[in-house]
Amino acid sequence: MSFAYALLALNLIASRQAPLGVQLHIRLTAPISSYGSRAGDPISAVLIAPVVFSTPTADAARAPGDQVLLPAGSLISGTLKSVQRVGLGIVHENAALDLEFNRVTLANGERLPLSARVQEVDTGRERVARDGSIRGVRPTGSLSYRAGGYIRTALQSEIHAALAVWAIRTLLVQVPEPELYYPAGVELTLSLIQPLYAPRAEAPVAVEPWSSQDRARMDAVVAAMPLRTHTFNLNRPARNRPADLTNLLFLGSREDLTAAFEAAGWIPPDSANLRTNIRRIRAVADGRGDNAAPMSTLLVEDSKPDMAWQKGFNDVSKRHHIRIWKQPETWQGRETWIAAATRDVDFAYLRPGRAMTHKIDENIDEERDKVVNDLLFTNCVDLVDWSERTDVPTVSRNATGDPMRTDARLAIVGLRECSAPRSISQGETPARRPCGSGLQRFARREILSLRNDLLRENIYWRSYEGIRWVVATIRGRRERTQDVPPAYPSTYELGLSSSRSRAFRDMLE
């Protein structure tokens, strides 16, 4: 017995532990769906961001040293624990999936036991329950369907009007697909529910990417970069407001950036015009996604972005996005690009600038790190470094009043020619199968609509729903006014003056 305990102690000494709650960011490598998948089916994913833990360094002036516990590219596998299928909608109104990830396979083939639950489906409209199961949305809860319900309630006494409403609902209003479908490439966040033990590796030797002289020049380049974006008002330029903070600096050509972002699964947004605006309105009304939705224009030193990228899924209210501006400075023959990355997490209404805007995630560092990890995963990056910026406030607001919190660091990413980026899946992804025949989908829509009409098309439910919206709106406004800084700090606090910027550029020359 004592020998067994000794072996256990030696094993713990030779390993490192990831505690409960540590997040694993993964990307599916094979599709799963509530309609086509079955309980017990295997599921597979790849780790797209390394799991690291920090150890203090001897030099207090340096940042803590990060040791990799699980490297990006590790394979995460498991089984589909349970599936709830909508079918014809007679028993269930919404779909559900329960994913059980139970194994990690390292690059050397070593397998480690894993116990983790799903914490988030990235940019998805679905809800993740406390037990980690994924719950699909109720298809009759879309904005367009609810609006049709109000019209029907108002005209309920007239049979011809009721028939007209039914025809509109059946022929024009598209009820969102209730079944869940996640193709290869969909990203999820897992959370450990049991400690994970990984083999202990030698601590990595910190390698300074530049000499002390190059470091000083890079610090000067970073200091010359604009710290903040501003809104764009063509008719009233004087009313432009401070907006997102810049948080990334890219080194490389336009072609390098394009290849890297495309390999990482990001796509450029469409230009705003009548067609794209109508498409976006339909996406909002029907409760679906729009991967190429236009982005609002922000300025850096009165210039529009030279390029923009975004990553979305099945919810138009959520997306990752980044705007990028080319800078006049170069670094060792490379072009330099300043960027501002934030994540949209919901819609917001009646705020400065527009009647409806996106609300961003308060922790903008997570989006900065998301961009870095996505590009690293593609093998298109040859340099990653960080620069401290004392002029950037750690707490501020964007142009529409959303709070922003940051550690004030700028991520510096060097890009190289990317001819063979890392793939997210092996082989070709099978085409999505329709969730039933056309007749089955029509029957399901009618059954779900009938269920919804019996339960919710009455004055009691509509009164409750209206009161709930009012309470949620009031509560949201109160929360936005608590524990946040002034909306628009001065230009001196949040940006480089033009004279200071020119001084740094003169020093570089």
Domain map (residue ranges) of the chain? 19-137+181-195, 141-175, 212-424+482-508
Q: What is the pLDDT of residue 8?
A: 39
Read off the pTM.
Answer: 0.78
Q: How far apart are CA 21 and CA 78, in angstroms?
A: 19
408 Rama class: left (phi>0) / alpha (psi -120 to 50) / beta: left
Q: Which of 271, 291, 274 is nearest to 283 (CA)?
A: 291
Question: Does residue 391 contact residue 501 with C-beta atoms inside 8 Å?
Answer: no
Distance CA 130, CA 92 (A): 20
What pLDDT is attached to residue 25? 94
Give how far Cα 416 sits from Cα of 127, 203, 228, 369, 410, Å. Answer: 38, 27, 27, 19, 20
- The secondary structure of the chain in percent helix, strand, coil, rounded to multiples of 5, reads 30, 30, 40
Please tell me the predicted confidence (pLDDT) of residue 491. Answer: 31
Cα–Cα distance between 125 and 284 in angstroms, integer? 12
Predicted pLDDT at 185: 86
pLDDT of residue 64: 44
In CATH, the architecture of 19-137+181-195 is Beta Barrel (2.40)
- Tell me the backbone φ, ψ of residue 187, rounded to 5 degrees: -105, 140
- What are the mean pLDDT values of the chain's consecutive 10-residue runs (509 residues total)? 43 59 90 91 94 54 60 93 88 90 91 92 86 85 64 56 60 66 88 81 57 87 92 72 94 94 92 83 75 89 93 88 94 94 85 75 94 94 91 90 92 90 58 70 79 77 81 72 47 33 37
d(CA 13, CA 504): 50
For residue 201, the model assigns a pLDDT of 56
Tell me what pLDDT residue 234 has.
65
The whole-number pLDDT of residue 6 equals: 44
Q: Which of 323, 309, 318, 312 is nearest to 246 (CA)?
A: 323
Structure-block tokens of residue 332: 């060792």
> How many other CB atoms are found less than 10 A from the CB of residue 116?
26
